[in-house]
Amino acid sequence: MSAHRRLNGRLIIATHNGGKLREMRELMAPYGIDCVSAGELGLPEPDETGVTFMENALIKARAAAMAANLPALADDSGLCVAALDGAPGIYSARWAGESKDFTVAMALVEEQVKAKGAVTADQRGAWFISALAIVWPDDHSEEFEGRIDGVLVDPPRGTAGFGYDPCFLPEGHARTFGEMTSEEKHGLPEDGSLALSHRARAFQMLAKACLD
């Protein structure tokens, strides 16, 4: 197996999502990588036609890398609910509609979960997945995936974070992602222990392979 490729210089973060961009910039900050977003470069959003998180991450990273002739990092992530057979999954953003209103998306998830009769904590299991892909202009790619398990809460709690954060209570914690600071949610432990959020866990793997 070939060695991982090191990342340095300028990097496109292939997203038009402000919350995701903020988290990725915070994670990259200690490594001195010059980050610019696909949105800031005016790059179009490609159609996400993959059937897995990683396929969609690769589509986004590859489109940005080829358009701007720079390495590009993309995240594809979402909420998966056990009672809904893993939905919304790769369609998590689409459940928020054209307006990207995740209050609506969380209400829709809750409605469907209750329709399944999932009312107790052991019936309301859920997990977040984050797939990170880096693609270089020569089409070399690196892929990493992180997961965090927890349960859905109703009503949603907290106004921090973004997306489905207020309705997700990570396993072993008393506060939702929506009630946690950015550092609590995705800070990288200095002792190398496992980070909390799905995106931070995927980023730990990326950092070890391509940045440290």
Q: In this structure, is the dihedral angle defined by the CA atoms of residues 147, 150, 155 and 157, taken in order, positive or negative? A: negative
Domain spans, the chain = 10-210
pLDDT at 23: 85
Q: What are phi and psi of 105, to 5 degrees?
A: -65, -45
Contact 195, 201 (CB under 8 A): yes
pLDDT band at residue 1 under the 50/70/90 scheme: very low
72 pLDDT exceeds 50?
A: yes
Residue whose structure tokens are 């799905």: 198
Residue among 163, 158, 100 at smallest CA distance from 126: 163
Report which residue type is found at 157.
R
Rounded CA-CA distance 119/105 in Å is 18
User: Token pair of 127, please?
Assistant: 């997990």
- Evaluate if residue 2 carries a pLDDT over 80: no
Instruction: Indicate the pairing of strand 72-81 with strand 125-135.
Output: antiparallel
Per-residue pLDDT tens over the stretch 74-102: 999 999 999 999 999 999 999 999 888 99
Tell me the mean pLDDT in the region 120-125. Answer: 95
The residues that are catalytic are 76
The predicted model gives 183-209 an average pLDDT of 91
Does the pLDDT at position 117 exceed 80?
yes
Q: Which CATH architecture has domain 10-210?
A: Alpha-Beta Complex (3.90)
